[in-house]
Amino acid sequence: MTSSLKDEQKATPIAPGSTGGELRRGPRIEEHGMDVIAASERKGKPRDLFWPWSAATVTVLGVSYGGFALAFGIGWVQAIVATVVSLVLSCLVCGVISIAGKRGSAPTLVLSRAAFGVTGNRVPAVVSWLLSVGWETISCALAALATATVFGRLGWSSGPITLAVALVVVLILIVGGAVLGYDAVMKIQTWIMYISIVLTVVYIALTLPKINFAALQHIPSGGIAAVIGATILLMTGGGLGWVNAAADYSRYLPRSSSSRGVAIWTTLGLGLPPLVLIIYGVLLAGSNSALAAKLEADPIGALAGILPLWYLVPFALVAVLGLVGTALLEIYSSGLSLLSTGVKLKRPTAAFIDGVIMAVAAAYIIFWAPGNFFTEFEGVIITLGVPISAWAGIMIADIMLRKRNYDDASLFNPKGLYGRVRVPTLLTFAVATVVGFGFVTNTAAGWLNWQGYFMAAVGGKAGLWAGANLGVIMALVLGFVGYVIFQRRAVRIQESKTEVDAE
């Protein structure tokens, strides 16, 4: 066995079709794709992870999630408990998966090849890509629509031209940052973080007098099924929505970085901003039944409706920046997921292609989509969330079972330690996904009514647990347990052959 120091000094393997991972001079477009980041380019400290993740979650849309939680028919204290539990659990999942980034210095969907096999990993990579493209599209569309909403309240033009201009500006920020790559993303996200904090604090200060604790006390409490449903909703909208990108930023850290620090700072960056915003949203929506009723149909516009006119432009800025920050991380990671499916492209090209898809889809949502498009889209997101949760359970188990860094060369060689296809893992993934679909009642899109085929076990599709989306958590748990049972020995054998020292 070679030492970890010698391993760091070796030339790191390069993924087929990549450029070797060097940054160009001048515009500094990052060329890193699926390749392992060289030791000389790994930099920073775990606390640096706080900024990009928090910038992606400091968005006033988090306030709307407080109203979404109350919509399950639960009390305000129950909603706050659901918020805390959901964010701690879901963001900690991301924190654990982010450890893989500093252990392997490669994108998240490359590192999961250790669990699925080099070729077998294409299955979750496709799901990851679809999910990321979906979320970045909805963030982009909402940013443009938020601008038009604010312009309309000010009495300015909010028609097609305003929407088109807003969409173009948002696209330039999102796609431009994603194409430039890691350094640009980190800088943009840091500035978004600073600006968003200031403007969000002002928003809270302006709306704080609207909180009515007497009205909150009159909200009736809900049953355990409703509380669990709200918790799972907040989990999927919180940390579970980021699991497939969790290691994409920690891969730039030195491998000597603290695993605990990586997990903690990722968890804090993802969890703290929405914790404050969602709890505030619970208090705000619970104090105003009219506001609560508007949130689900128009989350950004409803929040703008309670502001004085003079703050509408700053509100538009904080709303748009928050959504841009979210979409920027999504599109950067979706490009990496696209490469992980086996497509032979350079990373900037993959990010640009995803940007084009996002632009077309966002334009369709804004200008041509039927009135029920968002409900159809919600159905697709829930559907993709089940297999991603199964994948997350498998990844957590794999990370916890490993004590050594990943074998770099084997991540790109089907004949290496991790093999071409790891059948037990794919079977675990399939079973967890099938069971998960069986316990999800998807009424948001009629063409997905085939889901929920196991709901009879808990009262049926119209029963007490119908809206709890239990399948999301079941898929995660089954993925974790199944991998531990069927792959523990395989991981132990891989570890014995890995040419790096234990951490």
Residue 68 in tokens: 């979404």
Q: Which of 445, 412, 441, 484 is nearest to 117 (CA)?
A: 412
Q: What DSSP line would sit under 348-369, residue for residue?
A: HHHHHHHHHHHHHHHHIIIII-
CB count, 10 Å around CB of 90?
29
Residue pair 466/460 in contact (Cβ under 8 Å)? The answer is yes
The three-state secondary structure class of 296 is: coil
In 19-60, which residue ranges form alpha helices assigned H by DSSP?
Answer: 50-57
Helix axes 373-401, 423-438, angle to 10 degrees: 140
For residue range 149-173, list pLDDT tens digits in order: 788 877 777 788 888 888 998 899 8
Question: Which residues make Cβ contacts (< 8 Å) with residue 266, sequence separation at least 6?
Answer: 49, 53, 91, 94, 95, 98, 246, 250
For residue 119, name the pLDDT band (cuts at 50, 70, 90).
very high
Rounded Cα distance, 275 and 223, in Å: 23
More confident residue, 18 or 139: 139
Residue pair 29/4 in contact (Cβ under 8 Å)? The answer is no
Most confident stretch, 50-59, 201-210, 292-301, 339-348: 201-210
Burial of 413 (0-12, 13-18, 19+ CB in 10 A): middle
Integer distance in angstroms from the first to the last C-alpha of the chain? 14
Rounded Cα distance, 273 and 283, in Å: 16
SS3 per residue for 288-329: CHHHHHHHCCCHHHHHHCCCCHHHHHHHHHHHHHHHHHHHHH
For residue range 55-101, list pLDDT tens digits in order: 888 888 889 899 989 988 999 999 999 999 999 999 999 999 999 99
In eight-state DSSP terms, residue 404 is B
CB count, 10 Å around CB of 144?
26
Rounded Cα distance, 10 and 110, in Å: 20
Residue recorded with tokens 């060097």: 22
The helix (H) or strand (E) run that includes residue 112 is: none
Domain boundaries, the chain: 4-36+45-497
Residue 460 in tokens: 């049926």
The amino acid sitting at 220 is P
Residue pair 197/179 in contact (Cβ under 8 Å)? The answer is no
Rounded Cα distance, 446 and 80, in Å: 32
More confident residue, 442 or 213: 213
- For residue 28, what pLDDT is reported? 66
CB count, 10 Å around CB of 372?
11
The amino acid sitting at 264 is I
Q: What is the mean pLDDT of the chain?
A: 86
CATH superfamily for 4-36+45-497 is: Hydantoin permease (1.10.4160.10)
Least confident of 306-320, 332-346, 369-383: 369-383
Burial of 209 (0-12, 13-18, 19+ CB in 10 A): exposed
CB count, 10 Å around CB of 404?
18
Rounded Cα distance, 427 and 483, in Å: 10
Helix axes 224-237, 373-401, angle to 10 degrees: 80
Sign of the Cα torsion 403, 409, 412, 415 reads negative
SS3 per residue for 90-159: HHHHHHHHHHHHHHHCCCHHHHCHHHHCCCCCHHHHHHHHHHHHHHHHHHHHHHHHHHHHHHHHCCCCCC
For residue range 14-28, list pLDDT tens digits in order: 333 333 333 334 446
- For residue 433, what pLDDT is reported? 97
Rounded Cα distance, 385 and 41, in Å: 33
Reading phi first (left if > 0) and then psi (alpha if -120 to 50, else beta), residue 452 is in left
Residue 152 in tokens: 């309309």
- For residue 484, what pLDDT is reported? 97
Residue 75 in tokens: 């009390």
The three-state secondary structure class of 465 is: coil
In eight-state DSSP terms, residue 38 is P
Q: Which of 193, 271, 196 is nearest to 234 (CA)?
A: 271
For residue 266, name the pLDDT band (cuts at 50, 70, 90).
very high
- For residue 499, what pLDDT is reported? 66
Q: Is the pLDDT of residue 246 over 50?
A: yes
